Structures are given as C-alpha cells and as structure tokens.
Amino acid sequence: MKKINILCVDDELQNREDLSAILNDEIIENHILKVETLDSFENAFEQISQRKYHIIILDIFQGKPEDNGNKLGIDVLAKIQDNLFIPVIFFSGNAGSVEDLRSEIIGVVRKSDGYDQLKKEITRLILSNLPFIKENITLHLEEEFKNYFWGIIHEKREIFIQGQNDFSLGYLMLRKLGNSLSKDKISQIIGSNNIAIDKVHPMEFYIYPTDTAKEYEVGELLEKEGEVYVILTPTCDLVVRTNGKRKSDTLLLAKSTLLTDLEDYKQYSKLKDLQEKSAKDLEREKNYQGKLKNWTKNNQGEKDKYFFLPGTPFLENRIIDFQKKIMVDYNNLNEYTRLVKLDAPFAESMVSTFIRYYNRIGFPDIDSDYLINRL
C-alpha cells in the first residue's frame, strides 16, 4: 500500500483536529493518507519545501473574512507556484473566492460540502497520479544516473580518461536519459495501465505548447479566425542564414477540418443517438463507425490526401486536407496564433504523406476481365 503525505494549513485548531481525525490513516484507492497539520501560513512554505508532501490542503483566510482576515492561503499557493510543484486543494468556508483557480491541479472544496467532498477531491488527484509524477521521475533519474555513470563511464574508464572529456559526459548522459523515456517507462512514471504499448496515444503526436521563442517549423499548427492550418514548408527553409535571409519568404500551409464536419461522422452520430434501432440501423451504424476508424488511420493509400490529427484537451479531432493549401508571406505569420507542434515522427510522416500524394503517378486500370478470360 502506497503512502500519500498531506499537509493541511489552517489557523483554526478545531479545523485541524477534525481534518486530521477524519483523514489520517484513511485508505483511498489503495493509498494510506498520512496527514500533518500546521497553524502558520507564514511558515507553511518553508515546511513544504523541506519535506516530501504529495498534496497540500489550504485554508484561504487567516482569521475570519468578516473580520478583514488576510488571504494568506493565496500567498502560500503563489510561493508554491514560483518554486515547485505540488497539487493543492483549497478547503475553506469561503472557497467561492478562489473558484476561478479550479483546475486539474488545484481543487476547490467548500467546508459546508463536508469531508466526503474533500475525500472525492483527494481521490481525483490520486487517480490522476499527479501527486506522484515528480517522485517517480526523481527515482527514474537516480536509477539512470547510477547505471550510466557507475555502470558505464566508470567501468569503461580506459575510454573515458579523466580530465579529457569536459562536457561530453553530461551531453551523452542527457541523450541517454531522453532515450530512456520509452512508452513503457512513461506509462510506469505516470502510473497508467491504460496506455497501449503497441498503439499511439494522442498526446504522443504533439509538443505543447509551442515554444514561441523558436523559429517556425514544419508540422507546426497555426490558428486564424477559427481555422487551423499546418506548416508544410521544410524547417530548413525558415531558418535565418548567415547572410541574414531565409531560403523561403513564403510558407505553404494546409488547412484542416473538424472530424465532426465529415458526413461520415454526422451519419454515425445520428444513428448512434437513435433511441430505438432496427437491425438495419445497427448495421449502418457499424458501417459508419468503420468508416470513421479509417479516417483515423493515416497512410491509407486512397486517403493519402488527408492526415488525421487526434483530439486532445488543446485540439479537437481534425483532418488535414492536402488539397486545401494556401501560401502565406512570412511577415504575415503574426496574424496567426501558434497552437502546437507535431512531434517526431508524426511531423515527418505527415510530410511524407503529403509528398506521396502529390508525387503519385496514375495509369488506367488493366483489363482484368480480358486477362482472366485468356488464362
């Protein structure tokens, strides 16, 4: 059973005692809660930074709001955000004042909703595994460093001679570290059994958000007036050369459309929503479901003029249509919002599909009947 360390910061003694009595040693999703309490907002961050907590539960006000109490819980959150990562749950009688902060990593629970609601919020965080990712990554880093430096560099000291390698060892280590993050290892770190090792997870497609300090790259998705486009121009053509110029002053973009705008999707959705379905309806629903699955499979021959982009929280399911292309002047790219970038090898696969579509050579069908009849 895994232990989850929780710190509750509340200046009222009764609240601290009640919370500790109810939550300490509570078992949630095969995790045993270990609760510490603290009465001082001023000393909270110092304790948080020195100990290993998985979740912080914060009151908002020091004193009572009606007595002009200070929102010191917000100050503690700000220090956490500036220095480290730990999920936070606000548990307060005035939780409405921080409702706008609610997110995947900040929970908001009113004390009037009771401890059952607080437990639900703790359960949500446990199931997301967010409280443990940093800890799991740290363990992975330690294991990789130990194996690499003691098991490889030290063991092969006749190759890696002392004082002659300057920064190369660090470079090799970081390259090795990046390569160590296989899908199987990532699945272990995030604690998920729902990631198919032999399939592509939608999040694998993207690097989010786009690093706007970097040059535009092939495979980057841009948005303008509700339309989403992908850059097809090779990255090397966009880099400023020693002469101060780019190889290309214009970019080739392909437009995407929503998967939900496809006629196949509309028909499938209509059939799926039927309250009563005949055998024919079920057959047609299955048929359209199959067609939708084909849309999601890239490199499908006759569908080479399209490329599927799987949906995520930051992007809806979309189809890139290589027939819908536009040329954009580089100086006009500031009119577009940089959304996300396709990661390798998906950016390369998208370009390969585009090239394959436009380089195809067609010829008339062979008269198969004639051939068969003469066998």
Residue-range definition of the domain harbouring residue 186: 133-199
Q: What is the CATH classification number for the domain harbouring 291? A: 2.30.30.110
Residues 148 and 94 in one domain: no
Residues 270 and 226 in one domain: yes
Given a cut of 60, is residue 182 above it in pLDDT? Answer: yes
- Residues 311 and 271 reside in one and the same domain: yes
Q: What is the DSSP letter of 365?
A: P
pTM: 0.78
User: Same structural domain for residues 313 and 351?
Assistant: yes
Q: What is the pLDDT of residue 104?
A: 94
Q: What is the mean pLDDT of residues 39-61?
A: 94
Q: Total structural domains in the chain?
A: 3
- Contact between 191 and 137 (Cβ < 8 Å): no
Backbone angles phi, psi at 172, to 5 degrees: -60, -40
Asked if pLDDT for residue 166 goes beyond 70, the answer is no
**Residue in the block written with tokens 């078992």:** 27
At residue 318, does pLDDT exceed 90? yes
**Same structural domain, 80 and 37:** yes
| pLDDT, tens only, 320-366 | 999 999 999 999 999 999 999 999 889 999 999 999 888 877 667 77
Residues whose CB is less than 8 angstroms from the CB of residue 229 and which lie 6 or more positions away in sequence, other chains included: 221, 222, 223, 253, 254, 255, 256, 326, 336
42 plus 92 within the same structural domain: yes
Average pLDDT over residues 143-151: 92
Direct distance between the N- and C-terminal alpha carbons of the chain, in angstroms, rounded to an integer = 71
CA atoms within 13 A on the CB side of 151: 8
Which range among 45-54, 84-93, 233-242 shows the weakest confidence by mean pLDDT? 233-242
As a whole number, mean pLDDT of residues 2-28 equals 95
Q: What is the residue-wise DSSP string for 168-197?
A: HHHHHHHHHHHHH--HHHHHHHHT-S-S-T
State the greatest distance between any 2 C-alpha atoms of the chain, in Å, as a whole number.
100
Q: What is the pLDDT of residue 364?
A: 74
Handedness of CA 125, 128, 130, 133 (dihedral sign): positive
Instruction: Indicate whether 369 belongs to any domain.
Output: no
- In this structure, of 91-100, 115-124, 178-187, the range with the lowest mean pLDDT score is 178-187
